[in-house]
Chain A
Amino acid sequence: MKSSVITFPGSNCDRDMDVALTKFGFKNKMVWHNDQELPKSDLIVLPGGFSYGDYLRCGSMASKSKIMHSVINFAKSGGLVMGICNGFQILVESGLVPGVLLRNKYLQFICKNVHVKVDNIDNTFFKNLDKKVLEFHIAHNEGNYFCTNDQLKEIEDNNQIAIYYCDQNGNTNDQINPNGSIKNIAGIFNKEKNVLGMMPHPERMIDQSLSGEDGSIFF
């Protein structure tokens, strides 16, 4: 499998993502935001970080950068695109997935391990998953997912919610919700399920010495 990780000015998880993809057998290429063309890829990753310093709104400027035209076309033609953290914010800003990401409910950056529940494995990203509850890691200031009631109904009807924040047994409730996201949403798909945006960082959980290993299952 070939993958490409896009580096925007201010991306800071691009290297970590490269390390993870390479570890799990991807032939990965780093792509500069100012390039026009994407290399031939099976998967495009928009990594975490603070693209354009999070100025204006997180992800908004990056969503207008040159390479994003190609990324949007790639997604629309069915190619796999994944946005992690700031990458999720960029996906939201570019309209590839619905909704918005607001500032965390308690107005603080949060860096910690969380559990997430995977409901829907009927898609390319999760089809090989043999565990329902995964331990992931979050590190963000604006991960509070929000959408209108109509949008929420639509994404629920289409099974677009990819992962929910939950406790270690898979229960979702307000107490376990780290950032105030509506319905404990931690990640969502587009309608066709070839685009996935999520706040947690699987690339930080890829070996025993780190915060955990569940990222390995994900890749």
Chain B
Amino acid sequence: MLVNEKIAIEHGLKSDEYKKICKLLKRIPNITELGIFSAMWNEHCSYKSSRIHLKKLHTKGKKVIQGPGENAGVIDIEDGDAIVFKIESHNHPSFIEPYQGAATGVGGIMRDVFTMGARPIANLNSIHFGSTQHKKTKNLLRGVVHGIGGYGNCMGIPTIAGQTSFDRSYNGNILVNAMTLGLVKKDKIFYSKAAGLNKPVIYVGSKTGRDGIHGASMASASFDEKIEEKKPTVQVGDPFTEKLLLEACLELMSGDSIIAIQDMGAAGLTSSSIEMASKGNLGIEINLNKVPCRETKMTPYEIMLSESQERMLIVLESGKEELAKKIFDKWNLDFAIIGKTTDTKNIELYFDNKQVANIPVNTLVENSPMYDRKWKKSKLPKKNKIDKTTFKSLKIKDTLKKILSSPNVCSKEWIWQQYDHTVMGDTIQKPGGDSGVVRVHKTDKAIAATVDSSATYCWAHPLTGGKQVVCETWRNLISVGAKPIAVTNCLNFGSPEKEENMGEFVECVQGISEACKYLDYPVVSGNVSFYNETKDIGIKPTPTIGGVGLIKDYKKMITMDFKEIDNIVLVIGKTEGHIDQSLLSRIILNENNGPPPEVNLFNEKNNGLTLLNLIEKNFIKSAHDVSLGGIITAISKMCIKGNKGIQIKKPKFLINEIEYFFAEDQGRYLIEINPQNFKEVSNILDKNSVHYDELGKIIDKEMIIDQKTKLSIDELKSYNTNWLKSYMV
């Protein structure tokens, strides 16, 4: 087939991008070459709209072993151990085919982690669906949850935490962000940089089929009514093969045969071979007849663009072929020597003894387009003036009931009970807590991980929202007694070609960067997902942050359930009564405008580190951060989990009780302490200038507020746990 501009445009390239390709090659590309360019230059692989801004992220720190740019980020957790982790989106495919889309999302992120030599030890996910009234929501939720479970459970990796939200803006574009953490010895980390000439290039794993061709291009465009036709671009996962691939790769990695290794993810063989060559400043030559194919008569174009799952590309030390083959034979996996490294700095492909492509590697990588797209700055919305009589008309009991049973606050047990969260025998904090926690196998250390996003805040004011999400994950880690170390981010936005969306992206990134820098909590890996749009309607800006922290002695881990009657409960951090953008405002007052709560990074850091200090001194019996739904919602969850009640006395403030209990001011935690330690704890808080309120004391099975409002714990439990189960029936 002769290539022309029309065909290039059908491949998702822009007219001037096609001209640039012809100029770089000094000729017209053939169809295989065009396919390769389109795969490498699409938004998903090239980050052409985001690169310029991602450079501003805060990515350095004492604990960072590997920042962004590799398959995943790596952080130091002492004693020669390191944690490899990353989050990635699989939004577009999951909307088209929820089970396979979500499953292969989980499979892909696990591969990114074990490619680096790490055994995966935990999975997390952040999933976002449209309105609960929307006709597709239920099936999408069911499919995505089955897909995540289907893949992760079979792999035998516990899914330890997650986030699920519902919002109208995801009606036409759901979000599925999957995160994996792996454990590796610091001196046994593998990278994707090829080195050395004439080294064998090895293909291992599943055979290549026609599935997922142009998957990455599909993920780089908005949706329209023909979306169903895109089903063939969704890959099909086989977790069993991936489990074998994991074991085989780790077995090979225990020796010294591997020079470089890269999984075949988005854009398959194309991006994996080119990335390895590019990083090593080398050329690569591949004989496509040697690639194991599962279907007959596959063309070079199809072989290069297939996104069949569970495949890896390895540059091996010369002479290690037999040893490596033996391992893959043992695990019944394909093993083929398909090419070698060269000094041409070109990617050269051969098929039926003919050269079918010859492209300088740098044209695909360094010379790929980079755009500084126009973006619009957003203004901080004006505060709403809420009439005080409105608050007076609200009853705490009714309001709390509505909030506890609202889709974004209710218990997600229906979801996480479908995920194996205890396999590997090291899960010491299950889903449903502030963070999931797994022990570092056979040590006293534990790793805490959490994933969060606050699209509503980001939508109201991207800069503040960006900061807030980072702080939220930081608090989640502190609440379980972990020292936060680093984050991974998954930036889900609408079309970058629109100034508003691009503005949301730029300002969220700025917010994330500021918070990460201030908290010494760098970004070590991540991914960008643009074009989350259907028929011109985009999602709310949804940067998802995955935070990771270390607990040096796992016996000091904190959970949120109330422990003992007569213990006292304090609120750490000041409650100013910020109602705009809170759940109270949105679902009770039906008011969606106004600014999100302000983020004060000094307080955030000071409050968090002071609490960690109190935990270190064994003063804290339980802790929970205050987020959606305010103090009263957080307190309810602590009661439900501990099956204990609380007698609350609202501190005497100027703000009324509705504002005090439901405000979503930031930087706050609830803590349980023994009354005997009150003096010492309050001294430490005072000395560090941390504001605190005495909220009440723990009693048996009833929540009593100022002697007026009484709720039994069973009541609270039923509000919180029933909604999702009955919705999904």
- When the two chains form their complex, are residues B555 and A13 in contact, meaning their CB atoms are under 8 A apart? no
Interchain CB contact under 8 A, B154 and A50: yes
Tell me the bound Cα distance from A16 to B442 in angstroms: 12
**Given A111-B418, A137-B422, A210-B422, are A53 and B240 also a contact pair (CB < 8 Å)?**
yes
Tell me which of B146, B238, B420, B555 contacts A53 (CB under 8 A): B238
Closest chain A CB from B330 CB (angstroms): 8
Q: Could you tell me if A16 and B423 are in contact, using CB atoms closer than 8 angstroms? A: yes
Picked from A10, A12, A206, the residue with its CB within 8 Å of the CB of B423 is: A12
Q: Are B417 and A110 in contact (CB under 8 A)?
A: yes
Q: In the complex, which residues of chain B have a beta carbon less than 8 angstroms from the beta carbon of A211? A: 422, 427, 430
Chain B residues closer than 8 Å to A73, beta-carbon distance: none
Segment 417-468 of B: residues with Cβ below 8 Å from A = 417-425, 427-428, 430, 439
- Report the Cα distance A112→B417, complex, angstroms: 6
Interface footprint category on B: 20 to 34
Which chain B residues border A206 with CB–CB below 8 Å? 425
Minimum CB–CB distance from A57 to chain B (whole Å) comes to 14
Distance from A53 Cβ to chain B, minimum over Cβ atoms (Å): 3
Cβ–Cβ < 8 Å partners of A204 in chain B: 422-423, 425
A137 (CB) vs chain B CBs: closest residue:
B422
Indicate whether A143 reaches chain B with its CB closer than 8 angstroms: no
Which of B155, B238, B416, B428 interacts with A210 by CB under 8 Å? B428
Known: A13-B156, A209-B555. A50 touches B425 (CB 8 A): no
CA of A139 to CA of B555, assembled, Å: 25
- On whether the beta carbons of B427 and A210 are closer than 8 Å, the reply is yes
Given contacts A12-B155, A210-B428, contact A52 B417 (CB under 8 A): no
What chain A residues lie within 8 Å of B557 (beta carbons)? Answer: 209
How long is the Cα–Cα vector from A203 to B424 in the complex, in angstroms? 10
Whether A9 is near chain B, meaning CB under 8 Å from some CB there, is yes
Which of A10, A13, A137, A209 is in CB contact (< 8 Å) with B439? Answer: A209
Name the one of A19, A54, A111 contacting B422, with C-beta atoms under 8 angstroms.
A111
Asked if A16 contacts B425 (CB within 8 A), the reply is yes
Give the interface size class of chain A.
20 to 34
- Selected from B154, B417, B424, B427, the residue in CB contact (under 8 A) with A54 is B154
User: Is B240 a contact partner of A50 (Cβ separation < 8 A)?
Assistant: yes
Whether A9 contacts B422 by the Cβ 8 Å rule is no
Partner of B240, one of A10, A13, A137, A139: A10
CB of B554 within 8 A of CB of A111, answer: no
Q: With a CB–CB cut-off of 8 A, which chain B residues contact A55?
A: 240
Assess the A13–B153 pair: CB atoms within 8 A.
no
CB <8 Å contact, A9 and B423: no
The listed residue with most A CB atoms (<10 A of its CB), out of B240, B417, B423, B439, is: B423
* Chain A window 134-155, contacts with chain B (Cβ cutoff 8 Å), 1 for yes, 0 for no: 0001010100000000000000
Most buried by A among B146, B149, B241, B243: B243
Q: Which residues of A contact B689 (CB under 8 A)?
A: none
B361 to chain A, nearest CB (A): 37
Cβ of B244 under 8 Å from chain A: yes
CA distance A203 to B416 in the complex (A): 21
Given A53-B154, A139-B153, A209-B554, are A203 and B418 also a contact pair (CB < 8 Å)? no
Not counting A50-B239, A210-B428, a sample of 8 additional A-B residue pairs whose C-beta atoms are within 8 angstroms of each other reads: A10-B154, A16-B425, A49-B156, A111-B153, A141-B153, A209-B439, A209-B557, A211-B427
- The 28 listed contacts between A and B (C-beta, < 8 Å) are A9-B244, A9-B331, A10-B243, A12-B154, A12-B155, A12-B156, A13-B156, A13-B423, A16-B424, A20-B425, A50-B154, A50-B243, A53-B154, A53-B241, A55-B240, A109-B153, A109-B419, A110-B418, A111-B422, A112-B417, A139-B153, A204-B422, A204-B423, A209-B557, A210-B422, A210-B428, A211-B422, A211-B427
